Amino acid sequence: MAGTQLSAPESPAAAPETAAVADPDRFELQLVGVDGECRIERGAVEASGSHDLLLDPRCAALYPALAQASTWHDRADGGVSLASASGEPVVVFAVADGLDFESIEPASPIITLKSAD
């Protein structure tokens, strides 16, 4: 099962209770040296403690393995992993300077996550 696809963001008028608050669970994903980016979102928490992963359709175009990612796991070291439905990590991120996260697995390409405005 692939991650959930993001649709167009809701307008502030459609969600007035959240319009004034920045959402720290939305990130821009980018591959270093590759034009383009996509948006991912850490969704609702599941019983296992992981979170649903919401993926912009462009993510799989940028890095095809992301089509397998469906869950977001917070790691004890402060990093995160994006994993398949079976729990296998697709991309593992560490906390990074100047960004929120930078991939450590795979080592190449380097994938970054930055909080979305």
Distance separating alpha carbons of residues 50 and 73, to the nearest angstrom: 5
Residue ranges and CATH numbers for the domains of the chain are: 24-115 (2.40.128)
Asked if residue 17 has pLDDT above 50, the reply is no
Amino acid at 63: Y
Distance CA 80, CA 34 (A): 22
Query: Per-residue pLDDT tens for 43-63?
Result: 988 888 899 999 999 999 999
The mean pLDDT of 28-51, rounded to a whole number, is: 93
Over the stretch 53-104, which tens digit does the pLDDT of each residue have?
999 999 999 999 999 999 999 999 999 999 999 999 999 999 998 889 999 9
pLDDT of residue 76: 94
Q: Is the peptide bond before 12 cis (omega within 30 degrees of 0)?
A: no
User: Kind and range of the H or E element at 61?
Assistant: helix 58-62
Q: Which pLDDT does position 24 carry in this prediction?
A: 64
